Amino acid sequence: MKKAVSIFSVLGLFWVGPVAADSADEILGSIDKNLNYEKRYTRATMTVTKPRRTKVYELETWGRGMDTAATEFHSPRRDAGTKMLKKGGELRMYMPSIEKVQRISGHMLRQGMMGSDLSYEDLLQFTGWRELYTAKVEGEEPCGESSCWKLSLTANRKDASYPTRTVWVDKSTRIPVRQELYALSGKLLKTWTMEAPQKFGARWYPTRMVLEDKLQEGTRTVLEFRDLQFEAANFNETVFEQRWLER
Amino acid sequence: MRWLMGMALRNVMRNKRRSALTMLTVLLGTALLTLGLSWLNGLMGMIFGGATDMAGEVRVVTEAYAKRQATLPLYENVDPVEPLIETIQEVHPNARVYPTIKTAVTLTVGEDIGDHFGLLVAAEEAYFRDVLELSEGIEQGAYFSGGAKEALLGRALAAQIDAKVGDDLVVLGQTQDGSPSPLKLRVQGVVNGGNSLADRQVFVPFSEGQWLADFDSGATEVLVYGGGYLEAADVASGLRKSSVFRRFESERMAECRDREVSEDICRFRVEAWSEREPYSGIYTTVTAVFAVLAVIIVFVTALGVLNTMIMSVMERSAEIGVLRAMGLRKRGVVGMFVMEGVLIGLVGAGLGLLIGMVPSVLLEVHGIHLGEGLTSKTGFPLSTTVHADFTWAIAGLSAALGILTALLGSLLPAVRASAIEPVNAMRRRR
């Protein structure tokens, strides 16, 4: 009996191991492990390039889980002091020039955050992929110096911003290094790349993201993270309170 | 000629009732023409005058802006706008040139944001004062004092958002990049904008519009005024063809190519109001209505004249036969009847003009009130009261058409009379 168990164990190792590593669902799970967090703090530079001009924003963000996040813009001068608070499915923005809080809803959600290629809806739906999508491995492709799985993702929910995505996931870091985001009609809406991954404890996390809105010609948004801290981040959680917005 | 005139006068006086009837026809036609053309002229002035006040007699925008103008795109702006203004003024030194910014915003008075939609118009104070004449239309509060953070509200918009003079007005728009952009302004005054569109707008200093849209020194539209709305097409054409303007545009396009930016952002579209929809379509329609109205009135009047003159010919056929037998030529017969028609036309048109002028001038002074309900639902700058616009050109045209009508109406009977053979006329009498 003991012998039989050990044979099954060995077979199990050989059999279950590769399937777990290659299954689309497991890949999504490992992406979520990398990108999702309990706590996160970062300072970032967001460079928004349009055909005629480029704007550079300095910002600070605090995150608790995937559904609570606060952001404060420090520059340029006209946007300094602008704050955003995401709580669950709601997004509120404090505008210092009128000292008022605006709830971002309806058609405004589809607009780019501060004119960038990242929409407010992207911010709200930045939750676990495993829950949001059903994935299928389309194959493997080289990506840079590494090798990637090519996945096609189909949304499980009707309210997903992007009903389908094609994602290239780096096998070594489990980071979606390139994404193509499609509308229900099949039209390519955006591309999103995650670059310069760094190891933070057990997770890999990109320190540079590039988004391009394919519905607009010549636009590009580059997000560069500095001072990234995850679970060990030490910050005052009052930033997640409504009062912080108007303070 | 004197003989003809005498004969015509004698014939006019011979059957006074019939002559009066013919004269009345011409009189009515001329009076109707005077009133109808004055009314249409007033209507055209209201629609197109209002349209050009708001959208420029000539408008210069980027090609990219013109293509997406329904969405009032801010990104496709002219920045910097000053060199373009200087170029236009070099081509048309007497033209008044105003940079403007128009953008959709939400407006609220009080704590909340974004309850009501409106159109924000940002421009230099001279545009509001000299073109829109807002300083004349203040209903509550005061006109711009020259300070920043001031807003004038169209009266319909003020009523909609329940705004009063002195209230804090929260305006939420967008920057040219699409980022939410708010303004906190003080309601300086409530204005009667002169038409239904202007009454639903908020007017702010140009600098506030530039801040809202995040322009360094740009504008979305450059409006040109010079020579009135009827001359606009010539002004636009002159600008398009001028070598100064074309050189300026090609320099801009070269810059665009160097920066690998779409040429549509650097190329300009210069259009007179009458070349732009929806006004080009309305202009064609109103001009056609003008022509159709004139043709109908002339036709009906001519029929009336024709009718009475034919009766006259039939009654006088024996007399015509005698005159022909005595040696009067066919040309003389035609001249006699045409002269009779012209004499009747002159008196009828003169009286008709006087009678038509009275209601035209009354309508010009008092107008007809259409009501807010009707005018506010249209997308055109309609005033709630439509005034006629009587001009001496209309008077001249109406009188000339009245006389021409009488002449045309008498021509056919005159030709018919000239064709009468003397022998047949005598025999018929017997």
Q: What share of chain A is helix, strand, coil (3-state, %, to 5)?
A: 25, 45, 30
pLDDT of residue B291: 82
> Inter-chain contact B182–A100, Cβ cutoff 8 Å?
yes
Q: Which of A75, A95, A211 to mutate to test the interface with B (most CBs of B within 10 A)?
A: A95
- Phi and psi (nearest 5°) for B231? -95, 0
**A112 touching chain B per CB within 8 A:** yes
Instruction: Give every residue of chain B whose pLDDT is below 70, as ranges.
Output: 110-115, 371-383, 425-430
**Which residue of A97, A100, A115 is in closest CB contact with B179?**
A115
pLDDT of residue A50: 87
Q: Which amino acid does the sequence have at A246?
A: E
pLDDT of residue B354: 92
Confidence of residue A1 (pLDDT cuts 50, 70, 90): very low
- Beta pairing, strands A83-87 & A90-95: antiparallel
- Beta pairing, strands A39-49 & A146-155: unpaired
pLDDT of residue B144: 93
Torsion of CA B334, B335, B341, B342, to 10 degrees: 150
**Which residue of B113, B178, B262 is in closest CB contact with A111?**
B178
Determine the average pLDDT of the residues in A187-200: 94
**A111 touching chain B per CB within 8 A:** yes
Digit-coded pLDDT (tens) for A132-170: 899 999 999 998 888 999 999 999 888 788 899 999 999
Q: What are the E-state strand segments in A96-187?
A: 100-104, 133-143, 146-155, 164-170, 176-182
In chain B, domain spans? 2-52+281-429, 100-219
Domains in chain A: ranges and CATH: 24-246 (2.50.20.10)
Whether A126 has a pLDDT exceeding 80, the answer reads: no
Name the one residue in this structure whose structure tokens are 């967090």.
A37
pLDDT of residue A66: 82
> Inter-chain contact A52–B180, Cβ cutoff 8 Å?
no
pLDDT of residue B341: 81
pLDDT of residue B112: 62
pLDDT of residue A20: 40
pLDDT of residue B85: 95
> Inter-chain contact A52–B265, Cβ cutoff 8 Å?
yes
Q: Which of B179, B258, B265 to mutate to test the interface with A (most CBs of A within 10 A)?
A: B179
pLDDT of residue B428: 60
Q: Which chain A residues are Cβ-neighbours of B79 within 8 angstroms? A: 52
Collapsing DSSP to helix, strand or coil, B399 comes out as helix
Determine the average pLDDT of the residues in A202-213: 94
Containing B96, the helix (H) or strand (E) segment is strand B96-109
Could you give the CA distance from residue B340 to residue B335 in angstroms, rounded to a whole number? 8
> Inter-chain contact A114–B177, Cβ cutoff 8 Å?
yes
Q: Which chain B residues are Cβ-neighbours of A217 within 8 angstroms? A: 262
By CB neighbour count within 10 A (0-12 exposed, 13-18 middle, 19+ buried), where does A157 fall? Answer: exposed
Q: Which chain B residues are Cβ-neighbours of A100 within 8 angstroms? A: 111, 113, 170, 182
Those residues whose C-beta lies under 8 Å from the C-beta of residue A112, and which sit 6 or more positions away, are A48, A118, A119, A213, A221, B177, B178, B179
Beta bridge partners of B108: B170
Collapsing DSSP to helix, strand or coil, B190 comes out as strand
Could you give the CA distance from residue B212 to residue B148 in angstroms, rounded to a whole number? 13
Helices (H) and strands (E) in chain A, counts: 5, 13
> Inter-chain contact A93–B114, Cβ cutoff 8 Å?
no
CATH 3.40.1520 for domain B100-219: no
Digit-coded pLDDT (tens) for B14-56: 778 878 888 888 888 888 888 888 888 888 787 777 778 888 9
pLDDT of residue B84: 95
pLDDT of residue A151: 95
pLDDT of residue B113: 62
More confident residue, A88 or B183: B183
Residues of A134-146 as b/e, b for ≥16 C-beta within 10 angstroms? ebeeeeeeebeee
Q: Which chain B residues are Cβ-neighbours of A115 within 8 angstroms? A: 175-179
- Average pLDDT of the residues of chain A: 85
**B145 touching chain A per CB within 8 A:** no
> Inter-chain contact A115–B183, Cβ cutoff 8 Å?
no
Q: Which of residues 67-96 of B touch A (CB under 8 A)?
A: 75, 79
Q: Which of residues 55-94 of A touch B (CB under 8 A)?
A: 55, 78-79, 93
Whether A6 has a pLDDT exceeding 50, the answer reads: no
> Inter-chain contact B262–A93, Cβ cutoff 8 Å?
no
Beta bridge partners of B201: B119
Residue B411 near residue B338 (C-beta atoms within 8 A): yes
**B222 touching chain A per CB within 8 A:** no
**B258 touching chain A per CB within 8 A:** no
Containing A207, the helix (H) or strand (E) segment is strand A203-213
